[in-house]
Chain A
Amino acid sequence: MGTIVVIDVYATAGDAAAGAAAERASQEISGQVAEAVATLHRADETFSTWKPGSPVSRLRRGELSRAQVPAELAEVLDRCAVARDWSGGWFDPWAVPGGFDPSGYVKGWAAQNALAAFRSSAICGVLVNAAGDIASSGGLGDGTPFRIGIADPRDPLRLAEIVELTGAIATSGTYERGEHLIDPRSGRPAARAASASVTGPDLGLADALATALAVAGEAGLALIDGLGGYEALVINPDGSKRRTKGFPVAAVSSA
C-alpha cells in the first residue's frame, strides 16, 4: 500500500513577469520541489514498516533500542507520545499488533516537513496533499485562502463541507473499503464517527487527532476544544455534524 503526495505550488509570477525572471523563479521552485520530494522519500526510508531494513522496522523487531534510533525517528517517537497525550489515548501508535507503528502520524509529519522547502518569494501558496491529508502555506495570492472540500462519508458524490484553510487539515474515516480503525482501548476495530476532520498548524498532529476523533466520535470534540490552534468537525454515522466553535467552515456560497 502506498501513499501518493500531490504538491501544488501557486506562484505569483504571472503573465507580466518577464521571461527571464519567470524562468529563474521556475528553476528556483523546481529545486525546492526536488528538496520537498527528497524529504518525503527520506521519511519513507526511515518510517516504512514494510521495508525490513528501515529504522522503524528494526525498532519494531527490537534490533534498535530507543537510544539507538536516528534523530528523525526519535523526534517522531516523542511527538507520537505527545499526540497520544493530547488525544486522551484515542490515538496510540503503541497499541497495535506488531509493535510501534507511527504511520498515522508520519504521513502528516512528512508532508508538513516537505512544505518547509518552499521559500521562493515568487510563491504565494503551497498545498502538500498526502492522500487527502493536506499541509498548506499561503493561499491563492490575493489574500484569498485555499478552499478545501471534505468528502462526504455517506455520499462521496458530494462534499460534506468546505473549509477555508489556514495551515493543515486531516480527515479520517471510512471512505474506502478496506480501512480499519482500531480502538486502542479495546484493541478491536471501531469507529464511532463516519468521518473526523481536524485543522491546525501542524499536519502530523492534525492527522493523529483526526484518527483519534474518528474512533472516539463526537465525544472527543471536547478534547480538541482544549487544544489551542486546533479545530475539528465530526460527521456521525447518521449524517449529523458536530464541530468545535472555531472550525473554519467557508461561507455557503461559492464563487
Chain B
Amino acid sequence: MRRAPIVITATVVGLIAVIEFHTRPSAVSVANIPAAGAAATSPATSAPATRPTSKSKSKSATPKASTASPPSSTRTATGPQVNYSWGVLSVSVTVSGTKITKVGIASLDDGGNPRSQSIDQYSIPQLEQQALAAQSANIQGVSGASYTSAGFQQSLQAALQKLGVG
C-alpha cells in the first residue's frame, strides 16, 4: 500500500474513519490489531464509518454505563461486512472471557480477480495471526499493517464490541 509519491496507483482516496472510545483501560484488556487495550468494563461507543462519497452519518456517542465484567464463557460474534481495497470481508471472533481465542474470516468477496485472490491468500492468514499476537503483546496498534488490515480490523472491532469486550 502506502508510500506513494511513488506508487503509481496509490493515493488518499476514500478516507474512512472508524471511531472508538475507550474509557481508561482496566487491568483486563483485549488487544487486537487496531484497538487493543480496550477496556473490558466499559467500552463506551463506536461511531460507524463515514465514507466521503456516499452518505455520511455519525452516530452520537452514548456511553454504556455497564460496570460488570463480561461473562467468562466462550462466545463468538461476526462483525459487519466491510469494504476493503479488494472487495468486501467480514471477520468473526471468538473470546473466552475477555481473551481472544480465535479470529477468522467469516465472509470474503474479492471479486474473483487473480490479483485480489493472491493478496488475500497472502495477507488474510497473517491478519488473523496478528490479531492474536497483538493481544499477547499488549499493544494498542500495529505499524506496517496494510490496506486489507484496515477493513479487517474494522470488522473485528465491531465483532468484539458485540461481545462487550471491544
Contact = CB atoms under 8 A, between A and B. Distances in A.
A222 interface: no
B8 to A, nearest CB: 6
A45 B118 CA distance: 31
Given A1-B9, A104-B4, A131-B145, A27 B61 contact: yes
A202 to B, nearest CB: 15
Contact of A8 (B11, B119, B140, B143): B140
Interface stretch (B12-20, B71-79, B96-104): B12-20
Contacts, number: 305
Given A14-B24, A162-B139, A26 B16 contact: no
Interface in A152-203: 153, 156-159, 162-163, 169-173, 175-182, 184, 195, 197
Interface stretch (A15-23, A63-71, A223-231, A237-245): A15-23
Interface string A128-166: 010111100000111000111111010011110011000
B36 to A, nearest CB: 8
Contacts of B13: 1-3, 44, 48, 50-51
Given A98-B8, A197-B143, A4 B16 contact: yes
Interface residues of A, number: 96
Given A27-B60, A140-B37, A149-B142, A2 B8 contact: no
Contacts of A1: 1, 9-11, 13, 85, 147
A172 B1 CA distance: 9
A50 B11 contact: yes
Interface in A24-73: 26-27, 29-30, 33-34, 36-37, 40-41, 43-45, 47-51
Contacts of B111: none
Given A26-B44, A172-B3, A157 B140 contact: no
B159 to A, nearest CB: 15
Chain B's interface size range is 35 or more
Contacts of A15: 23, 41-42, 67
A25 to B, nearest CB: 8
Given A1-B85, A3-B150, A36 B24 contact: no
Contacts of A255: 138
B52 A104 contact: no
A44 B52 contact: yes
A13 B23 contact: yes
B6 A134 contact: no
B119 A177 contact: yes
B5 interface: yes
Contact of A103 (B12, B61, B83): B12
B90 interface: no
Contacts of B123: 156, 175-177
Contacts of B12: 2-3, 43-44, 47-48, 103, 106-107, 110
A140 B38 CA distance: 10
Contact of B14 (A3, A26, A175): A3
B19 A4 contact: no
Given A44-B52, A148-B141, A158-B133, A9 B22 contact: yes
Interface of A: 1-15, 19, 22-23, 26-27, 29-30, 33-34, 36-37, 40-41, 43-45, 47-51, 91-98, 101-107, 110, 124, 127, 129, 131-134, 140-142, 146-151, 153, 156-159, 162-163, 169-173, 175-182, 184, 195, 197, 210-211, 214, 254-255
15 contacts: A3-B13, A3-B14, A3-B16, A7-B19, A10-B25, A15-B67, A26-B61, A41-B52, A44-B52, A47-B11, A51-B13, A141-B24, A157-B130, A171-B144, A175-B144
